[in-house]
Amino acid sequence: MAGFDKRVNSYEEAMAGIESGMTVVAGGFGLCGIPENLIAEIKRRGVNDLTVISNNCGVDGFGLGILLEDKQISRIYASYVGENAMFEQQMLNDEIEVILTPQGTLAEKMRAGGAGIPAFYTATGYGTPIGEGKEVREFNGRHYILEEAFHADFAIVKGWKADRFGNVVYRDTAQNFNPLAATCGKITVVEVEEIVEPGELTPDQIHTPGIYVDRIIQGTFEKRIEKRTVREG
């Protein structure tokens, strides 16, 4: 990695500087577009007491779920527990602090962090446990709660293609949360399926401009299928 060239040669280099106690925002939705190799590097390093911001916590044995095995996550902001027995068990045993956050609010808190917006008002969650303890204001006869933006020490993101300057393109459902997560980290690391030369991606293709990206690495991915429906006849 030198100058405008943001490529790194190893996952060890990609996650250099991560330490216990840090906050990590992870892109992806369910099993789609998750930065699985960057998560594996976090596990390998053995850092703990992490605060994680993500749509969910993967599944048992895959994605963010592997960080639960050694209890590396102490707090997580997520939209749902999902199909993850270990996550559910740790939550019920108070071994992990789970701050449930509606998906739209979660995404907007990421976007706000990247846009330099410290907080915003939303009607989502008012009158529910989500809104407890938060500032409430009334606009045009409707109540809104104040949500603060997310800021992370590291953002880990999965893209489809990128050039060596860090301009990133996402494919299909991998656009969920990844472009937003990429903007709100002090250090943003993106793993992609293919790195191309500058100019091969046209400006209207690019979802995340390279100005947000600090490190980029080309990897190989398992691409699990969460559920397959087969029709006969």
Instruction: Provide the 8-state DSSP code for 134.
Output: S
Residue 179 forms part of a structural domain: yes
How are the residues of the chain apportioned to helix, strand and coil, as percentages rounded to the nearest 5?
25, 30, 50
Number of domains in the chain: 1
pLDDT at position 218: 96
Nearest to 34 by CA among 26, 22, 42: 26
Residue 30 forms part of a structural domain: yes
Residue 129 forms part of a structural domain: no
43 CB-side CA count, 13 A = 17
Residue 43 forms part of a structural domain: yes
Residue 72 forms part of a structural domain: yes
Residue 132 forms part of a structural domain: no
Per DSSP, the three-state class of 28 is: coil
Residue 2 forms part of a structural domain: no
Q: Which domain holds residue 162?
A: 19-116+150-218
Q: What is the model's pTM?
A: 0.92
- Complete edge-to-edge strand list for the sheet that includes strand 168-169: 168-169, 161-163, 194-196
Q: What does the alpha-carbon distance between residue 191 and residue 177 come to, in Å, rounded to a whole number?
A: 15
Q: What does the alpha-carbon distance between residue 137 and residue 128 come to, in Å, rounded to a whole number?
A: 15
Residue 206 forms part of a structural domain: yes
Q: What is the pLDDT of residues 71-105, one digit of tens each?
A: 999 999 999 887 789 999 999 999 999 999 999 99
* pLDDT at position 129 over 70: yes
Q: What is the pLDDT of residues 150-209, one digit of tens each?
A: 999 999 999 999 999 999 999 988 888 999 999 999 999 999 999 999 999 999 999 999
Residue 215, exposed/middle/buried by CB under 10 A (0-12, 13-18, 19+)? Answer: buried
Nearest to 228 by CA among 31, 84, 87: 31
Find the CATH number of the domain harbouring 63: 3.40.1080.10
Amino acid at 84: N
Tokens 């559920």: give the residue.
227
Instruction: Provide the 8-state DSSP code for 13.
Output: H
Residue 196, exposed/middle/buried by CB under 10 A (0-12, 13-18, 19+)? Answer: middle
pLDDT at position 220: 87
- What mean pLDDT do residues 39-44 have? 98
Instruction: Provide the 8-state DSSP code for 150.
Output: P
Instruction: Provide the 8-state DSSP code for 123.
Output: S
Tokens 């997580």: give the residue.
76
Q: What does the alpha-carbon distance between residue 107 and residue 33 come to, in Å, rounded to a whole number?
A: 15
Compute φ and ψ for 145, nearest 5 degrees. Answer: -110, 155
pLDDT mean across residues, the chain: 93
